[in-house]
Amino acid sequence: MKPANPRPLLVFYILVSYVLIQFVWWSYLLIEQNNELYTLKKSFNLLTYNDPQLIIEEGNALEKRLHYRWMMIVGEGMVFFTLLIIAFIRVRGTFKREAALIKRQKNFIHSITHELKSPIASVKLAMETMLRHNLERDKQKEIISNAIADTDRLNTLVENILLAARIDNTLFELLTENVNFSEYIDEAIKQTISAFTPKQHIATDIQPNIFFNIDKTIFPSIFLNLFENAVKYSPQNSNIKICLKEQGNAIVLSFADEGIGILKDEEQNIFKQFYRVGNEETRKTKGTGLGLYIVKYLVEKHKGIISVRKNSPKGSIFEAIFTKSN
């Protein structure tokens, strides 16, 4: 993948250099002009006045005015230079953020193209295989199951894209209702395992009879994205544990895996829109960089916070903490 275009930064640096040169030249001209005016004024006084005392007093007054003007020039210059430095730092930071966003958007376009084409091609191949060959019933079931899994994946992808668009346009309001959160999560686990048929061992620890206000049409996006993230980055036959606990006035939903883990430097970035760890052209795991971004937004809309920490001995723990309404 090509790096972000450095041309805007180059233009910015050229403009800043030009402003600095102009500032130095402006200061030089002001100082020279001030010195010339002082010399002329003093010469004029020497020619005009015959009283030596008056000439001395006038000279002292001119020196004071010169000193005042000099201090004014220095003060204005320092203020100008300070503002310029602040502007330089802020604009440079903006350029860097924009370059990073452009790179993430390119990654998204690259991955979304693959993510859309892959399940469509798989379903097409499955249908063509069914039409051209007289397969045994067990083989037909296997092909159909794989095709359904691909369509489910495609459906999840489309839902994430539409959800991200709603988030970006701020067209988002929750319609919450009080539910038995324990039963809701337990049922979500069963349905998700049935649909995904993960190759990892799924363990659960669900505290019963926890009640919480959620939007039942939106919350599945939180659960599915966290579940899919744990499965995606975990090796076969590893353990994934889903826990739901009530701690005082807080409800804690966590997903612990034994996957590749997340570097400390990456932890603050993984919830950004389009962000994915590594290079899009060499990455083996599927994804668009929208899942965790959506999770963070929806958790916060449910008055919660989402965080990630290292699991022991390896892997990651994603933890969503919700505050119960009084």
Please tell me whether residues 117 and 97 are part of one structural domain. Answer: no
* Domain end call among 56, 76, 103: 103
Q: Which amino acid is at 258?
A: E
Please tell me whether residues 203 and 315 are part of one structural domain. Answer: yes
Residue 254's domain is classified under what CATH number? 3.30.565.10
Residue 139's domain is classified under what CATH number? 1.10.287
Please tell me whether residues 35 and 57 are part of one structural domain. Answer: yes
Structure confidence at residue 62 (pLDDT): 61
Ranges under pLDDT 50 in the chain = 1-5, 279-283
Please tell me whether residues 237 and 319 are part of one structural domain. Answer: yes
Please tell me whether residues 219 and 250 are part of one structural domain. Answer: yes
On whether residue 150 sits in a domain, the answer given is: yes
On whether residue 285 sits in a domain, the answer given is: yes
Q: Can you say whether residue 92 is alpha, beta or left, with left for phi > 0 and alpha for psi between -120 and 50 degrees? A: alpha
Read off the pLDDT of residues 11-46 as tens digits, 9 standing for 90 and up. 667 666 766 776 777 677 677 666 766 665 666 555
Please tell me whether residues 251 and 216 are part of one structural domain. Answer: yes
Please tell me whether residues 96 and 117 are part of one structural domain. Answer: no
- Measure Cα distances from 21 to 8, 57, 78, 81, 192 in Å: 20, 39, 15, 12, 64
Read off the pLDDT of residues 154-194 as tens digits, 9 standing for 90 and up. 777 777 777 766 676 666 677 889 999 999 999 999 988 88
Sign (positive/negative) of CA torsion 15, 17, 18, 19?
A: positive
Please tell me whether residues 137 and 268 are part of one structural domain. Answer: no
* Domain end call among 83, 103, 123: 103
Q: What is the pTM of this model?
A: 0.57
Residue 285: other Cβ atoms inside 10 A: 13
On whether residue 2 sits in a domain, the answer given is: no
* Domain end call among 151, 168, 185: 168
Please tell me whether residues 159 and 196 are part of one structural domain. Answer: no
Please tell me whether residues 158 and 43 are part of one structural domain. Answer: no
Please tell me whether residues 203 and 269 are part of one structural domain. Answer: yes
On whether residue 157 sits in a domain, the answer given is: yes
Closest alpha carbon to 293 in 96, 101, 95: 101
On whether residue 118 sits in a domain, the answer given is: yes
For residue 277 the two structure tokens come to 């760890």
Number of domains in the chain: 3
Please tell me whether residues 223 and 257 are part of one structural domain. Answer: yes
Structural domain span for residue 135: 110-168
